Amino acid sequence: GQQLNQSPQSMFIQEGEDVSMNCTSSSIFNTWLWYKQDPGEGPVLLIALYKAGELTSNGRLTAQFGITRKDSFLNISASIPSDVGIYFCAGLYSGAGSYQLTFGKGTKLSVIP
Amino acid sequence: SQTIHQWPATLVQPVGSPLSLECTVEGTSNPNLYWYRQAAGRGLQLLFYSVGIGQISSEVPQNLSASRPQDRQFILSSKKLLLSDSGFYLCAWTIGSSYNEQFFGPGTRLTVL
């Protein structure tokens, strides 16, 4: 089956620093999604990407759909303490009636005030 | 607007006991529904998904089962819980094949002792 490699697995940064994480796959996707999960809660959708090369921002967050359709990255600028959490990428190839997202294993972000 | 509910929020059950977790969605019709399990600090594992009433697809063979008795209700069950069933169970929905964003419920924390 399809697999996503998400990196880094975890990161510790100082408040105010920028953050970058990415996901790569051996298969192509035509949808990339980025979620954030706070402890004890369900993941919340941050950004959805539907076109290769697409660059989309949501406040301090920016995500891009790779040209090859096999990767995506998420950047967070000027991190703040509430950015702490686990960030998941997810990809979908919408072929043959597929309804299943493939999730990365997550990037755990810690922000040091 | 659409909302998704899960209950109970937390559950502690002895090994061998039955299980019933409920998920309901409001504000939409004919959603695709999903059950995921998340072990501590790990990624999301898809357990079941449903594209309509009575239609269940199982992704991982195990002692869990799912049912969809109504359009906006999705139930996860077990006749006899195992220790390995402990985890964080998340329900998610999406409008259908036209939209790929999945939206998650608040989750149920299950501890099997």
Band (pLDDT 50/70/90 cuts) for residue A101 is confident
Between CA B34 and CA A110 the distance in angstroms is 29
**CB distance A36 to A43 below 8 Å:** yes
User: What are the tens digits of pLDDT across the range B20-48?
Assistant: 999 999 998 889 999 999 987 678 989 99
Q: Side-chain half-sphere of B96: how many Cα atoms within 13 Å?
A: 8
User: What are the tens digits of pLDDT across the range A50-94?
Assistant: 999 999 999 999 999 999 999 999 999 999 999 999 999 999 876
Cβ partners under 8 Å of residue A18, min gap 6:
A75, A76, A77, A78, A79
Interface test with chain A among B10, B49, B100, B102, by most A beta carbons within 10 Å = B100
* Closest-CA residue of chain A to B51: A99
Q: How do beta strands B19-26 and B73-78 pair?
A: antiparallel
Q: Does B109 touch chain A (CB under 8 A)?
A: yes
**CB distance A106 to A87 below 8 Å:** yes
Residue A30, amino acid = N
